[in-house]
């Protein structure tokens, strides 16, 4: 009888699982003995470590995403969101993308035999006044593109206005969260904005105010305390205001209030203070831990459940290199778990023994702008140009498909000979019908 594998989530884990099944189960797929369905709102996978470079204009945004329909020709791609999952009955309810907007809502019920549950994580927010209205995250390519256009638009506003308060607010950029996403996004965008100031005769880099807010006493814990301290010093030398052990208290009407009593206006507020499991977990009958993550075994199966697998940010996977602890929700683990999970799904379909996931932490790399970086790999500490090169080489080796590797390399090569573009398409992309509506307006 035919087996149906349902993959919830088209991120790194979901994509690699489908790729592994395509490669190792070709005969079964062609004969109809196996069917694969991937459910995700988007028909592409985003390689998130490259989002800061896409936001800074070092990479073309389309080159940091992988088209799922192209690389998964033998899988059924269903664009929508799972709204309910009953694994006991092997059924999932999917709200189809676009349904309910201009017509009736369409909910499709899918039956399956094997589940791969990997919808990923979402931004972890707090009930801070004004945050929901004025903040933006940094987890998607759309957010990266928006921030690039937004920062450049703020420079346009500052260069054009005669109002000093408006100018100061436009030139103030606040990032909350001192992890990878926050530090890399701030560093890359500040580097881009600094270059862009050369095209504004009445602006210079000293007019801008970049603020990094972190609740703990350090940033980038993944690279170690020494490299974290060096990064703080390096950012401060660039004029970036790094506030440790500080909380955001309010952001109402673009007025920032910090726990240390500081208040100022800012038109840009980026929230990167951690992630939490996808809310979809609450709409399933899968076992979860006290943090809302799906309980997993070392073999990446769902604990106590048959024919169900999980990995990535959504899963509490035991770290076999540190007994009693769990794997951190980062890209390094997700990349490696994806391959093991894919092989284990194949092994389960062939009634073979599953392999446990075990990965000793190799270290971390982070970009701090063009030609600047920090890294700690196998205990070796790197900073500056060498760390930046290591960051690029590592992620180039990890970005999926040869097509994307070549395109990313081409972008970097062209950047050696040409300056990056500093054109903002903000209003044009955010309100594409504005000009048409203006033309159609009756005087």
For residue 67, is pLDDT > 70?
A: yes
pLDDT confidence bin for 65, thresholds 50/70/90: very high
159-179 pLDDT, tens per residue?
999 999 999 999 999 999 999
CA angle, residues 389, 392, 398, in degrees to nearest 5: 140
Report in angstroms the alpha-carbon separations of 20 from 37, 114, 313, 357: 14, 15, 20, 16
194-204 pLDDT, tens per residue?
999 999 999 99
179-221 pLDDT, tens per residue?
989 999 999 999 999 999 999 999 999 999 999 999 999 998 8
Residue 123 near residue 275, CB atoms below 8 Å: yes
Residue 75's nearest CA partner among 40, 105, 46, 119 is 40
The pLDDT assigned to 427 comes to 60
319-338 pLDDT, tens per residue?
988 888 898 887 778 888 98
d(CA 175, CA 270): 5
220-274 pLDDT, tens per residue?
887 888 889 999 999 999 999 999 999 999 999 999 999 999 999 999 999 998 8
d(CA 135, CA 137): 7
pLDDT confidence bin for 104, thresholds 50/70/90: confident
Number of CB atoms found within 10 A of residue 31's CB: 9
Residue 129 near residue 144, CB atoms below 8 Å: no
For helices 225-237 and 180-196, give the axis angle rounded to 10 degrees: 20
Residue 345's nearest CA partner among 79, 38, 30 is 38
d(CA 294, CA 301): 10
Q: What percent of the chain has pLDDT over 90?
A: 73
Residue 364 near residue 378, CB atoms below 8 Å: no
Question: In terms of pLDDT, which residue wins out, 76 or 431?
Answer: 76
Q: Mean pLDDT, to the nearest integer, of 408-423?
A: 88
Report CA 121 to chain centroid distance, whole Å. 9
Token pair for 275: 């992630």
Q: Is the pTM of this model over 0.85?
A: yes
Strand 241-244 relative to strand 209-214: parallel, antiparallel, unpaired? parallel
The pLDDT assigned to 443 comes to 60
């Amino acid at each position: 009888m035919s087996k149906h594998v349902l993959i919830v989530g088209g991120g790194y884990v979901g994509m690699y699982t489908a790729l592994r099944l395509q490669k190792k189960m070709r005969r079964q797929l062609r004969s109809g003995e196996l069917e694969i369905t991937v459910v995700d709102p988007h028909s592409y996978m985003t390689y998130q470590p490259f989002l800061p470079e896409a936001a800074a204009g070092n990479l073309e945004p389309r080159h940091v995403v992988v088209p799922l329909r192209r690389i998964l020709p033998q899988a059924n791609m269903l664009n929508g969101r799972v709204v309910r999952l009953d694994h006991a009955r092997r059924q999932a309810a999917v709200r189809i993308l676009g349904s309910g907007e201009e017509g009736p809502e369409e909910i499709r019920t899918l039956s399956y035999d094997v589940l791969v549950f990997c919808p990923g994580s979402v931004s972890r927010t707090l009930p801070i006044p004004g945050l929901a209205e004025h903040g933006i995250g940094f987890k998607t390519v759309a957010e990266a593109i928006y921030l690039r256009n937004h920062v450049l638009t703020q420079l346009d506003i500052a260069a054009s206005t005669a109002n000093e308060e408006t100018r100061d607010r436009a030139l103030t950029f606040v990032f909350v969260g001192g992890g990878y996403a926050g530090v890399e996004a701030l560093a890359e965008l500040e580097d881009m904005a600094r270059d862009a100031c050369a095209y504004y005769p009445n602006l210079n880099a000293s007019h801008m105010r970049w603020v990094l807010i972190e609740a703990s006493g350090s940033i980038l814990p993944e690279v170690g305390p020494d490299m974290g301290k060096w990064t703080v010093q390096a950012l401060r030398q660039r004029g970036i205001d790094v506030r440790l052990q500080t909380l955001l208290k309010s952001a109402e009407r673009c007025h920032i209030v910090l726990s240390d009593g500081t208040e100022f206006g800012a038109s840009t507020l980026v929230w990167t203070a951690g992630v939490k499991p996808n809310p979809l977990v609450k709409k399933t009958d899968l076992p979860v831990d006290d943090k809302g993550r799906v309980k997993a075994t070392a073999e990446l199966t769902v604990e106590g459940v048959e024919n169900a697998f999980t990995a990535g940010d959504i899963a509490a996977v035991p770290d076999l290199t540190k007994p009693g602890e769990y794997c951190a929700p980062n890209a390094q683990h997700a990349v490696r778990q994806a391959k093991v999970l894919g092989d284990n799904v194949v092994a389960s379909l062939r009634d073979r023994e599953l392999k446990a996931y075990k990965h000793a932490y190799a270290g971390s790399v982070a970009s701090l702008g063009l030609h600047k970086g920090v890294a700690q790999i196998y205990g070796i500490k790197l900073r500056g140009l060498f760390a930046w090169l290591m960051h690029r080489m590592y992620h180039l080796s990890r970005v999926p498909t040869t097509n994307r590797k070549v395109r990313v390399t081409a972008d970097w090569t062209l950047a050696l000979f040409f300056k990056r573009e500093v054109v903002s398409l903000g209003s044009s992309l955010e309100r594409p019908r504005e000009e048409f509506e203006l033309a159609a307006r009756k005087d």
